Structure 1
């Protein structure tokens, strides 16, 4: 009621002090006023009406607010409307009834809107948790990436807690499914690592055995076979499998340390030997200079004799570094080939009657002929066949030698 002085339109006070409010359906008593004039009595109950109007205004404002508790506001509208017929106020009751009825309709509409929104939010929240359950069930089937999968399960729990709006029954059912999937994963992960621990115990025992063998071989001076044996142990190490990272690193350091003891010792020995071999190389290079300076074309026979002496000294000197061995042998062989070629040419220049080799071969043929005659005189067929075969072979060799001249 905007004008509290217009009280006579909506109420009156009778002679005994009873205060009445006027409505379209008639009058009704709202109270008694004995403390002052009738106008003051009406004003008192009019102020109560004004307070009621303010309360209705506040409810209307809440209904139009996006953050309002709409069901609570609707309940407040209903409470005011139900109590309006008994309200101890003086004012335009009919207008307030009309307004409350309109607010009740608006509140009902807003309640349906809120209900629809909540249903949509509930459906969305339910879908999110169903998706998390489906993901958890897929994760539970994995046979690898145990750490990452465990971390994902923990993250799903956090996501789950952040999703609100699912009804309790549905939420409980979904949580049971998620918990079951997580438990399945936990059991399978536990079984996997239990098996892995068992396998690593076998691997650890094998690698301890390999370390012991390597440590035993580390002091050997049988360089070649021991190096091959250590290489074999290395191949076994790789085939044995791997331990947990820290344990693997510690075991590898021990295994490698044993190998280093051997190979460092071998390296020191080989370094000393290489120093000796380098001296041998220098000596053989000096012999090569002498061999390559021989007058092979002018006097091949003398060159051959000198070269044989050089070869004898060559063998006495001993080994050279492996990197130089082939090169030195090629140079020596080149001189040998040159001398052989020169000797072959010189041999071809000797007259047939003076060639000592041909003389020797003719003598062998003559001896074979005599042997055949003796065999024939005995009449022994086996001896005759054997003598004939020997004679034919020596004649063939002589023929080839003579044709090569």
Structure 2
């Protein structure tokens, strides 16, 4: 059989043609596993024929005419080292970007398929085994990437479903309009950061959020429209209140007018707030009318108080005089008579300043209580038998109650109940007797 004429080899330094999808390393790139001895896996004879041994079979792969056989062997060994470097690049890419496993699997397959016709000398068995292992790793990484993608998709869907549900809850129930509006906007910003959901699902979730946002905006708009109407009504009511307040601000019927102003204030509070900016102005007008009236009343009262200071001084003199005369321990009848004299003179003097009324009531009350205490003490001493009956009834009640407790402790509930009933009867007698003593 005639010897097959070998095909001319590439020019020195020419790059091997590979599919466009493959990663092509720089010519003669260095690798930790490159620079293997090509003489172990092929040869170049003196005629320039290039041979490689693969799977125990030697075959011619090219013809070398650009230098010595040794230079040709180095050249085709370097071409094999380039294949190793390309393999290492693919391995590094898989390690750095496992999510690109699908694309890398295709690149590894193309590189492995290209080994059948590549003109290079090296350990093809080891390289093919390495590429087979890399294919297996890309398949594992691709499977893991799919699972991770599905997990991320599920998490993204769950997050957007949660945000949509929150927006729907806000749209339906929230009345804290400022905070709710801020949260609706914050949800949108968070929504934009969530990726990895298919278009159909994402569109459906977006419609939920969008409908909720629109519903919230409509409800908020309706609320503030109603609020504006209520404020307009409040403004009309308050303007009427101001007119009535101004109409009575010069009245000198102090008590009746003061009550009228209190009633107007209640109406004012019930009216609610007028529009912003107007409410403060209305309040200033209403307050001015009140202040005008109460300032006039206070001026009159201040003048009266100055007149009443003399009355206070006169009542102080009475207290000083009668404090030593009202002495029940020296004679209760005489003490009563002096107290009546004091009370008559006290009333004749008249009013004291308003801010001293309580003080002077306490001063005369101290002397009145002195006589009352003496009368109480005398009465109790005058009827010792009545108090003795109270004590006797109470002792009976206490006695039966003690017996009831002892019977209960002994486990005789029936006897305890009867004794307790008797104790209650005697206690009732004691209470009635004590009340009679107090009322005598």
The alignment status of 1:257 with 2:284, answered yes or no, reads: no
- Deviation of residue 45 (structure 1)? 1.5
Give the equivalent residue in structure 1 for 2:167: 136
- Deviation of residue 286 (structure 1)? 7.7
Q: Aligned in 2, Cα 1:175/1:18: closer, same or farther, shift over 3 Å?
A: farther
Give the equivalent residue in structure 1 for 2:120: 89
CA distance in 2, matches of 1:196, 1:180: 24
Contiguous gaps of at least 5 residues in structure 1? 294-306, 335-405
CA distance in 1, matches of 2:279, 2:170: 29
Alignment check: 8 A CA contact 1:200 1:243 kept: yes
Q: How does 1:303-314 map to 2 (within 5 A)?
A: none
Q: How does 1:28-47 map to 2 (within 5 A)?
A: 30-47=61-78
Larger Rg: 1
- Deviation of residue 250 (structure 1)? 4.2
Give the equivalent residue in structure 1 for 2:216: 185
Give the equivalent residue in structure 1 for 2:200: 169
Alignment check: 8 A CA contact 2:35 2:78 kept: no
Give the equivalent residue in structure 2 for 1:55: 86
Alignment check: 8 A CA contact 2:35 2:81 kept: no
CA distance in 1, matches of 2:91, 2:320: 121
Contiguous gaps of at least 5 residues in structure 2? 1-32, 326-340, 369-440
- Deviation of residue 287 (structure 1)? 9.3
Number of aligned residue pairs: give it: 315
- Deviation of residue 199 (structure 1)? 0.8
- Deviation of residue 42 (structure 1)? 2.1
CA distance in 1, matches of 2:154, 2:202: 12
Question: Quick check: which one's helix share is greater?
Answer: 1
CA displacement 1:275-332 (0-9 Å, x = unmatched): 1233355568889999999xxxxxxxxxxxxx9xx99xx87x876546659959x89x
CA distance in 2, matches of 1:62, 1:286: 111
CA distance in 2, matches of 1:290, 1:56: 123
Q: TM-score, structure 1 length as denominator?
A: 0.66
Give the equivalent residue in structure 2 for 1:120: 151
- Deviation of residue 67 (structure 1)? 6.2
Q: TM-score, structure 2 length as denominator?
A: 0.61
CA distance in 1, matches of 2:276, 2:316: 54
CA distance in 2, matches of 1:275, 1:80: 115
CA distance in 1, matches of 2:219, 2:265: 34
Q: Provide the secondary structure at the position in 1 that maps to 2:128.
A: helix
Q: Over the residues paired in the alignment, what is the CA RMSD in angstroms?
A: 3.7
The alignment status of 1:202 with 2:233, answered yes or no, reads: yes
Give the equivalent residue in structure 2 for 1:275: 306
CA distance in 1, matches of 2:176, 2:166: 15
CA distance in 1, matches of 2:318, 2:91: 122
CA distance in 2, matches of 1:239, 1:32: 108
The alignment status of 1:266 with 2:301, answered yes or no, reads: no
Alignment check: 8 A CA contact 1:63 1:73 kept: yes
The alignment status of 1:220 with 2:258, answered yes or no, reads: no
Alignment check: 8 A CA contact 2:99 2:145 kept: no
